[in-house]
Amino acid sequence: MLGVAPAVPAQPAGFDPALARDLSALCTTHTFRDLYGSDAAILPEGYERLHTSEPRGMDNLFQVFRKGAMGVIEVRGSTADPLSWMENVHAAMLPAIGTVVVDGRPFDYHFADDTAAAVHAGYTLGVAFIADEVEEQLRALDREGVHDIVLTGHSQGGALVQLLRAYLEHRPVDRVPARVRFRTYAFANPMVGNAAFVREYERAYCSSGTSFSIINPEDPVPGMPLAFHDHRIFSAATVNGMVSGQDGYDMRSLARSALFRMFRGTVTDLAQYISASVEKRIAKPVGEVRLPPYREEMNYTPMPGRVALEPFPYPLILRDSTILTNDSIMRANPRDAQGVFLNKDLYRRAPGFFQHKPYNYHVAILRRWFPERYSALRVKVLPENL
């Protein structure tokens, strides 16, 4: 019917917009420190940073915050380090119970009981690199009377906290105190497991209203793995360089190698080819990696507990600053009552990863649930994201 705004999808039971607002800000602290040297402007009120881990493994890092009786484990997303992106593309599937050996040290993992369940190999490694230190921090929080723990992260960090939740829930009480209760808020997370894993995860955590996947439908990353590229940060050519060890990446050489294999064989073959190559490439910085045999499938399934945000609006910025002084262009292109050109080709297009930026997720949450805070926000788009 004309004049009726589309209905906003109902949010899942247990979802707390105020908590999502704060957690999305915590996920953006890395961006602010990288860009401006300080995260004071984005750190939400009442949160005390207790611990920041050293970068480990494939540039994995997490922070620990406390607000009253609540603790937060925030896991950083992908960085510019090639090791971090290798973790993303190491997308062959492993059984959900098994042992990973890194540099001679075994890591026994248990993500699901269903023997049909399978998970992302790279993110399994990511959990292996941080799990012991996370458990140490959980025991320290428990000693301080903090038993309500929220796991959160953006992008790769969101994927890791979902697998980390499943791992911690299966740990013995001498490793994770019995009083600890988890909630999970993953932002912009790629997929982490197959349909069997997702079904068990949903029954165990989403049905109780304690795990959420907050995504922007226009963001390509929740469609990962093997479903996106960005020429400034990550591209198909970058994958080729990663797995071949080359410093310079060439799109045509990729067509002759990894991508060409996709069309000759199956997506599973491609994922296993890339994953095997990544294992060789990471041996020098992290040590030899031995994984359980790969599953013969690529049945990735979107994570449940979904909360969909509205796509992020990109500001109207003229492609050429001289347009307003060019009489012929002005005459040929009518404008609306607000002075906006009807010809959208005169404006810049959003960069490929604009819909994925952590600050944009934070702003979208303010716009949807906290309109007064959104209106008062001085910077709605970081200049660096334009």
Q: Mind giving me the DSSP string for 168-213?
A: HHTS-TTTS-TT-EEEEEEESPPP-BBHHHHHHHIIIIITTT-EEE
Arithmetic mean of pLDDT over the chain: 87
**Quick one: pLDDT at residue 7?**
53
pLDDT tens per residue across span 90-123: 999 999 999 999 999 999 999 999 999 999 999 9
pLDDT of residue 349: 87
The pTM score is 0.87
For residue range 37-63, what is the model confidence (pLDDT) as tens digits?
999 999 999 999 999 999 999 999 999
pLDDT for the residue 386: 82
pLDDT higher at 284 or 258 = 284
Beta-sheet pairing, 289-290 with 97-102: antiparallel
Residue ranges per domain, the chain?
Answer: 17-223+283-308, 321-349
Pairwise CA distance, residues 383 & 357, whole Å: 12
Report d(CA 371, CA 377) in Å as an integer: 10
User: For the segment 207-259, what is each residue's pLDDT rounded down to a tens digit?
Assistant: 999 999 999 999 999 988 853 333 333 444 444 454 444 444 343 343 344 44
Q: Which of 7-16, 207-216, 289-298 has the lowest mean pLDDT?
A: 7-16
The letter for the amino acid at 259 is L
More confident residue, 64 or 261: 64
Cα gap 154→185, rounded to integer Å: 9
Choice between 231 and 86, residue whose per-residue pLDDT is larger: 86
Q: What is the mean pLDDT of residues 4-20?
A: 77
Is the CA virtual torsion 260, 261, 267, 272 positive or negative? negative
pLDDT at 19 over 80: yes
What confidence score (pLDDT) does residue 45 get? 96
How far apart are the C-alpha atoms of 324 and 271, rounded to whole Å?
A: 49
Superfamily covering domain 17-223+283-308: Alpha/Beta hydrolase fold, catalytic domain (3.40.50.1820)
pLDDT at 29 exceeding the cut of 90: yes
CA distances from 230 to 81, 184, 244, 280, 351 (A): 15, 28, 19, 24, 9
Dihedral (Cα; 114, 116, 122, 124), 10-degree rounding: 20
* Confidence grade of residue 270 (pLDDT, cut at 50, 70, 90): confident
Strand partners, 73: 64, 151
261 pLDDT above the threshold of 50: no
Alpha carbon of 63 to those of 136, 160, 250, 361: distances in Å? Answer: 13, 13, 37, 19
Give, as one character, the DSSP assignment of residue 304. S
What is the per-residue pLDDT across 146-160, written as a single tens digit (0 to 9) for each? 999 999 999 999 999
pLDDT of residue 284: 87
How many C-beta atoms surround the C-beta of residue 104 within 10 A? 8
